[in-house]
Structure formats: C-alpha cells, structure tokens
Homo-oligomer: A and B are copies of this chain.
Amino acid sequence: MKIFAKCFVLIGGAIFGFVSISFSQTTMKVDYPVGYRLWVHVKSVTVAPPTPNPRNHGIHHIYANELAMQGYKTGLFPDGSIIVFDLRQTQTNNGVTKEVSRSFIDVMQKDGKRFEKTGGWGFEEFPGDKTDRTLSNEQKTACFTCHASQQEKGFVFSIFQE
C-alpha cells in the first residue's frame, strides 16, 4: 500500500510538472497578430547599404492595434497592446522603390502577467507570411535588453507619425 501511495505521488507529481511546463510555455508565447495589416500604420523607414546587416534592409512599416494606439498617445501601453514591425524587401527601378516580398514580422505583445520579466512585453518573430515562431529565449532577451532603453516611453521605440 505504501509502495502504491509513493507511485501515486510520483506519477501525480510528474503529470503536474508536465502540465505546468506546457501551460507556462503556452502562456509565454506571443500570438500571431491576425489581421494586423488593417491596423493603424504608425510610420515607415527604409534601410539600405551602407547600413550593415542586410537582413534588415528593405522598407519596414510599424502597425499598431487600437490598444497600442492608446499607448502611443499616453506613453502607457495597456495589456492587449500589439505592435508589428513588418519588413519587406524592395526593388528599385529608375529611382522608384516598390515593396516586394515580406522578409519577416517582429511582434511586441503587452501582457503584464505573461511577460512580467520583460517589462510586460513579449517578443517574437514570424518569417515571411508564416506563423512559425523563430526567436530563441536568448534572442527574446536581447529584444528586451534593447527596448529597455525606452522604458520612459513604455519600452517602445517608434513614435506615431501624424
């Protein structure tokens, strides 16, 4: 009976641990920002040589959902705020530069509980038009380390371009 009780405790503990880890991993994930192309366009920047890191070359647009727009106005981004950095490759012909394929999108999602350790913001990257998450934990930490410099602006670099 004692052996049965020990087994019960061990198995129960293992199940609890597995469920806890799975739940934690799920809640720590940034959601794919469905429909973000219909959100508000915050600003755009084009990046080309001699700027290093060709991965970031192209034109990027910043989009914000309605809650994030409150943050751009007040500096306080409420939970549910989502900001998308949408990087597209470009082609130039006779001085006219047009957008072509999407390189990736970077997403910031505000949730004070889920992302408590990183200023309330979760960070993720989705390649092209896919919904696969590609950032390692180290890369997410690097995102936050950089954004921490903007703490007085709610950890957000961009400013809404009127």
Does A137 sit within 8 A of B, measured CB to CB? no
Determine if B46 and A59 form an interchain contact, defined as CB atoms under 8 angstroms apart.
Answer: yes
Please tell me how many copies of the chain the complex holds.
2
Binds B, one of A12-20, A93-101, A103-111, A117-125: A93-101
**Bound-complex Cα distance A60 to B156 (A):** 24
Determine if B48 and A95 form an interchain contact, defined as CB atoms under 8 angstroms apart.
Answer: yes
Determine if B162 and A37 form an interchain contact, defined as CB atoms under 8 angstroms apart.
Answer: yes
Determine if A46 and B162 form an interchain contact, defined as CB atoms under 8 angstroms apart.
Answer: no
Give the chain B neighbours of A43 by CB distance below 8 A. Answer: 99
Which of B48, B50, B161 has a CB less than 8 Å from the CB of A97? B48
Determine if A99 and B59 form an interchain contact, defined as CB atoms under 8 angstroms apart.
Answer: no
Give the chain B neighbours of A51 by CB distance below 8 A. Answer: 94-96
A residues near B (Cβ < 8 Å) are: 37-38, 40-41, 43-51, 59, 61, 63, 69, 94-99, 129, 161-162
